[in-house]
Amino acid sequence: MPEIDFDAERTYLEGRFSAQEAFRSDRAKVVCGYFEPGQFIPVHAPESDLVVSVRDGTGIVREGETTHAVEPGDVIAVEAGVDRGIRADEDGRLEALLITAPPPTDEEHGPVRRGIKRGEFEPDREA
């Protein structure tokens, strides 16, 4: 099993969140997620389960209609097909380990790309 070193993977991007892939198989994908203040993964609902383990900072994790305020040590699990999104608070960075099983498809990430492009945490589901 590969060791995941958050310090070695730490990368922040100016215009969007950073997802540094730490592990991938046909069954699961693990990334280290780094968010500058206010950065986000837009709400979307791929057919994969998600586990978010917050390592540092504060923010929110959307799970369906529920919005969880998160801080270090919190773990949120979201079932496949349920809306989910992650956003760092405006006053600080957020770091989290993100595990998806199975890995989402490129098509399922369409709402993520649209949301980032438009600066929308909750993009529409249209093409």
**Residues 16-62 pLDDT 10s:** 999 999 999 999 999 999 999 999 999 999 999 999 999 999 999 99
**Share of residues in the chain with pLDDT > 90 (%):** 82
Spatial distance between the Cα atoms of 121 and 23, rounded to a whole number of angstroms = 26
Per-residue confidence (pLDDT) for residue 5, from 0 to 100: 87
Assess if residue 14 is contained within a domain: yes
Cα dist. 85→3, 7, 64 in Å?
26, 24, 9
Beta carbons within 8 Å of 2's beta carbon, 6+ residues apart: 22, 23
Spatial distance between the Cα atoms of 89 and 3, rounded to a whole number of angstroms = 28
Whether residue 85 is predicted with pLDDT greater than 70 in this model: the reply is: yes
DSSP 8-state class, residue 109: G
Whether residue 105 is predicted with pLDDT greater than 70 in this model: the reply is: yes
Q: What is the CATH number of the domain that holds 51?
A: 2.60.120.10
Mean pLDDT of 69-98: 98
Assess if residue 63 is contained within a domain: yes
Whether residue 77 is predicted with pLDDT greater than 80 in this model: the reply is: yes
The model's pTM: 0.92
Assess if residue 68 is contained within a domain: yes
Q: Report the Cα 2 to chain-centroid distance in Å.
A: 21
Assess if residue 95 is contained within a domain: yes
Q: Name the residue range of residue 85's domain.
A: 6-118
How many domains does the chain divide into?
1
DSSP 8-state class, residue 60: E
